[in-house]
Amino acid sequence: MGTSVEIDRDAAEDLMKDGWTDISQRLSDKVLSNPGQEFACETFIAADEDSEDEKTTGIRSLVDALVTDASTAGALKPGYRRLCERPCFHDGYLDANNDAGTHLVDTNGRGIERIDATGVWADGEHYELDRVIYASGFEVGTELSRRSGFETVGRSGELLSDHWAEGMRSLHGIHVHGFSTPDCTPGYYNNEGQSSGRRGALNSMGYPDGPVAYFQCIDQWRSSGHFEGLELQP
């Protein structure tokens, strides 16, 4: 079963109201709070920082309210940007840490040392387990050619990974000058929690008015027949 989620600035009601739409709506509200301001990288970065503080402060407060053991609560509080690790929105996740059979092992960022036939080792201590579940998440911050498994070469011989070395750039999130088959779509990247800068801003900035307005813009651009900004070559 497929699921489609849209965040539209003009929507009268957020029908999802989950963790994802909350994150996006906070950022959208900050960016568009002053209609007269110029939409620039600095505007987006400032809005992202403000919504970041709001969201992570709320998460830490929720941990304090739901997790009874102070040491466990402290280890569960994020000290990083909200998308540096995949956010968990399950209603029972934090409460599960209060169960007698649940034990949180804080490795202080060092991870598991090794795995043997009966369990895992962390910080010099062995934890006996019946089953180990691997959850690897996404690979980010690496070259495009590594993630895609191939290199894209443009008309002039330039590599797409070199063209995007300082951040992804395109026309309408679809066309890249000099490349016939680009695969760029609007989206977000967390830059591994590092300072955004120009590269981070270009890699994470989506269409400011949301996907519905973006699709309307693309429809008008296509139906006009002029294809402004696009250079067609045989």
SS3 content of the chain, % helix, strand, coil (to 5): 35, 5, 55
Contact 176, 230 (CB under 8 A): no
- Model confidence at 1, pLDDT cuts 50, 70, 90, reads very low
Which residues touch 164 (CB under 8 Å, ≥6 apart)?
144
pLDDT at 90: 78
**Which residues does 98 contact at the CB level (< 8 Å), separation at least 6?**
66, 67, 68, 69
**Rounded average pLDDT over 137-141:** 62
Quick check: 127 pLDDT over 90? yes
Q: Would you place residue 5 in the very low, low, confident or very high pLDDT band (cuts 50, 70, 90)?
A: very low
State phi, psi for 173 to the nearest 5 degrees.
Answer: 70, 15
Question: What 3 state SS string does 111-143 have?
Answer: CCCEECCCEEEECCEEEECCCCCCCCCCCCCCC
Mean pLDDT of 93-99: 93
Contact of 149 with 161, CB cutoff 8 Å = no
Q: Phi/psi of residue 153, each to 5°? A: -110, 130
Please state the pTM of the whole predicted model.
0.50
The residues pairing with 120 across neighbouring beta strands, listed in sequence order, are 115, 127
Residue 31 exposed, middle or buried by CB count within 10 Å (0-12, 13-18, 19+): buried
155-200 pLDDT tens trace: 899 998 899 888 888 887 778 888 875 545 444 455 555 566 777 6
Q: What mean pLDDT is predicted for residues 26-47? A: 79
Residue identified by tokens 């387990």 is 129
SS3 175: strand
d(CA 23, CA 139): 21
- 22: three-class secondary structure by DSSP: helix
Structure-token match 């981070």, residue found = 200
Separation in Å, CA 98 to CA 79, 127, 133? 21, 19, 21
User: Structure tokens of 48?
Assistant: 């992202």
The number of beta carbons lying within 10 Å of the beta carbon of residue 76 is 21
The whole-number average pLDDT for the span 99-105 is 90
